[in-house]
Amino acid sequence: MVVPYNLLGAAPSGTVTFYANGAPLSGTVTYASGGGSPPTFGASSTYTFSAVGNYAITASYSGDTNYSSSSASAQNITVLYPVPNVVVTPYSQNVNYGGTASITVLIDTTNKSVYPTGTVTFSGTSAVAVPCTKTQDTSGNFACQATGTFTVTPAAPSQSVYSGDSNCPSTYSYAYISMLDFTFGASGWVQLTTDQSQTLTVTFKQRQWTQRDGLEPWLFRIASRNNLHL
Domains of the chain plus CATH, in order, are 16-79 (no CATH), 85-179 (2.60.40.10)
This model's pTM is above 0.95: no
pLDDT value for 203? 67
Give yes or no for a contact between 127 and 148, defined as CB atoms under 8 angstroms apart. yes
Helix (H, G, I), strand (E, B) or coil at 143: strand
What is the mean predicted confidence (pLDDT) over 155-169? Answer: 83
Residue 22 has pLDDT above 60, yes or no: yes
Check whether the bond before 38 is cis (ω within 30° of 0). yes
Question: What are the beta bridge partners of residue 77?
Answer: 55
Alpha helices in 90-185 (DSSP H): none
Question: Can you tell me the distance from the alpha carbon of 120 to that of 168, in angstroms, rounded to the nearest whole number?
Answer: 13
β-bridge partners, 5: none
φ/ψ of residue 211, rounded to 5? -65, -15
Per-residue confidence at 38, pLDDT binned at 50, 70, 90?
A: confident
pLDDT at position 206: 56
Average pLDDT over residues 49-56: 91
Burial degree of 74 (CB within 10 A; 0-12, 13-18, 19+): middle
Q: Which amino acid is at 86?
A: V
> Is residue 103 within 8 Å of 120, Cβ to Cβ?
no
Whole-number pLDDT of residue 217:
35
Beta bridge partners of 189: none
**For the segment 79-125, what is each residue's pLDDT rounded down to a tens digit?**
999 999 999 999 888 888 788 889 999 999 999 989 999 999 988 67
